[in-house]
Amino acid sequence: MKWRWFLVGSMLVLLGGYVYWRMETRRVKVVFCDVGQGDGVLISWREWQMVYDVGPKGRKMVNCLGKYVPFWDKTIETVIISHWDEDHSGGLEEVNESYKIEQIFGSERPEGVKEQFFYSGDLIKNDIIRYGEIDFEILSPDQYLKETRTDDNGLSVVGLLSYKSNKILLMGDVDGEVENRLVWRGSLGKRVEGAIIKVSHHGARESTTEELLDEVKPKMAVIGVGRNSFGHPSKEVLGRLEKAGVEVWRTDERGELVVRY
């Protein structure tokens, strides 16, 4: 098995508020931002920040970062765009205007990405982004999907965020076929049991399959969703989550969710 490693992060000279910053950054913080109909997640530890998706245009992701990234820290070390649909990538230019982004990854480079975004490369299964005790392991897409799927949703970057024994699955917008493929090919297994899951595709009915839920046995499901005409989240997905006994956090009803470890 071939592994690629991306070592990220740099030291920060601390200014005012040193004691508060030291206490706050001892803990890993994961923020599921309320960006409306879209996804945006901040992972933060010490002086390092990684963002998974940036929501649509409208500065909601910038506003979320402003609440949880110290005002003197204007660097986002890593941005991962799960796929390039507007509701996942539209806020990138706004984030780039407010912060220095050191690296941007996706499953593929889209046409028209501006040079100032410093696109760093494509992610594929078994790639790992590591900072300290945090690992973000890429579970999908693999080479087979890259060769057989052409739709953005199916090629979403799916990743497992790990910190000690804590796990969070970030699913992009993959459909049930990709989810079940992860199950059947043994990409999940016991190591993901009890993880928090960021529900795929805002709760679209073709995602969050029974097979996936049986495998992951999530303790919580987060649905990034806002006002929409697609019927997200679907009654089918909500029913499957209820049947599996999973606590559901919807950003349209409860706002952002902050998880600290």
- Tell me whether residue 151 is exposed, middle or buried, using C-beta atoms within 10 angstroms of its C-beta: 0 to 12, 13 to 18, 19 or more: exposed
* Six token digits for residue 119: 């696109």
What local confidence, expressed as pLDDT, does residue 109 receive? Answer: 84
CB 24 within 8 A of CB 2: no
Taking Cα atoms as reference points, which of 7, 65, 24, 6 lies closest to residue 41?
Answer: 65
| pLDDT tens for each residue of 109-161 | 877 666 556 788 999 999 999 999 999 999 999 999 999 999 999 999 999 99
pLDDT of residue 179: 98
Number of domains in the chain: 1
CATH number, domain containing residue 26: 3.60.15.10
Question: For the whole model, what pTM was predicted?
Answer: 0.90
DSSP 145: H
Q: Which domain range does residue 169 map to? A: 4-260
Q: What SS3 class is residue 137?
A: strand
Residues 180, 25: Cα–Cα separation, whole Å: 37
Residue 2's pLDDT band, with cuts at 50, 70 and 90, is low
Predicted confidence at residue 119, as pLDDT, reads 84
Averaged pLDDT of the chain: 90
| Residue that wins the pLDDT comparison between 124 and 16 | 124
pLDDT at 4: 58
Whether the predicted pLDDT of 13 surpasses 80: no
User: Helical H runs in 79-234?
Assistant: 86-89, 92-98, 143-148, 176-184, 210-216
pLDDT tens for residues 45-101?
988 999 999 999 999 999 999 999 988 999 999 999 999 999 999 999 999 999 999
Over 70: is that where the pLDDT of 35 sits? yes
Q: With bands split at pLDDT 50, 70 and 90, how would you rate the model's confidence at 6?
A: low
82-121 per-residue burial string, b: 16 or more CB within 10 A, e: under 16: bbbbebbbbbbebbbebbebbbbbbbebeeebeeebebbe
Chain CA centroid to CA 253, Å: 20
Over residues 202-237, the pLDDT tens digits come to 999 999 999 999 999 999 999 999 999 999 999 999
pLDDT at 16: 41
Q: Is the dihedral of CA 218, 219, 224, 227 positive or negative?
A: positive
Strands 158-163 and 166-170: antiparallel
Number of neighbours of residue 17 by Cβ within 10 angstroms: 12
Rounded to whole angstroms, how far apart are CA atoms 4 and 1? 10
Strands ordered across the beta sheet of 127-131: 4-7, 127-131, 134-140, 158-163, 166-170, 196-198, 220-223, 247-250
- What is residue 106's three-state secondary structure? strand
pLDDT single digits (tens) 160-194: 999 999 999 999 999 999 999 999 999 998 999 99
